[in-house]
Amino acid sequence: MRSITTLLVLFLTALLSILPSSVQGAALTTSVDPHTRACFYAWVDKAGEKVGFYFAVQSGGSFDIEYSVLDPHEKIVVTGVKERQADLVFTGNSVGEYSFCFENSMSSFAVKIIDFDITVESEPRLTLPVSAAALLSEHSAPLEESISKVDSQLTQITRMQRYFRTWENRGFATVRQTLSKITWYSIIDMLVMIGVAVAQVYIVRYLFDKGSTKRYRV
């Protein structure tokens, strides 16, 4: 009985050790006014952690933004100008607070709406003794492979959802802009037609005015 309990404890410990790594993250939406800078922060507990940064401009102007990522020492990790979206993963080599900033300095009146998320991923360590891990490696390998495959498929699905959502918003914005242009063109065209008709009436009245001393042959 004791041996069965020991094996069960070892199996559960091994299962916990091969589960996907713990992730701290946040999925957010923010608006950046013209000529303003918005920054968000994430804390890295230890050197070597994986930091993920994704954003996509959903509306505003040409759907582009300036962005920069700074480490705790205010050094630039990555930066970009006139970027519509980005999906980055880098290693946090310094412990401390990382800054993720958006700057809307290119627009004079357009407010940029941005979807983004920041993740800090910590890789777990195997705490089992080497001998116990060796005993369970043969049984845990298929499970570990299945978990890794599911995690990869979920990541692909999430990225596809982000992609379709971004292009849906941009397509809707393009349709709305086109509709606005057609509406204003129709209004201007109607005003021009009314102006021409009114001008023709006054010209005809002027030419055929009875009080006029001039005669015109038609």
Q: What are the structural domain ranges in the chain?
A: 22-123
Which of the pair, 23 or 198, is modelled with greater confidence? Answer: 198
Determine the pLDDT at residue 10.
Answer: 44
pLDDT band at 38 (very low <50, low <70, confident <90, very high): very high
CA gap 106, 82 in Å, rounded: 9
CA gap 60, 115 in Å, rounded: 12
- List pLDDT tens digits, range 145-188: 788 778 777 877 877 777 787 778 778 777 888 888 899 999 99
**HSE on the CB side for 78, CA within 13 Å?**
13
Look up the CATH number of domain 22-123. 2.60.120.680
Which of the pair, 27 or 32, is modelled with greater confidence? Answer: 32
CA gap 54, 148 in Å, rounded: 21
Which of the pair, 121 or 36, is modelled with greater confidence? Answer: 36
36-58 average pLDDT score: 91
CA gap 127, 12 in Å, rounded: 12
CA angle in degrees (0–180, nearest 5) for 42-62-78: 30
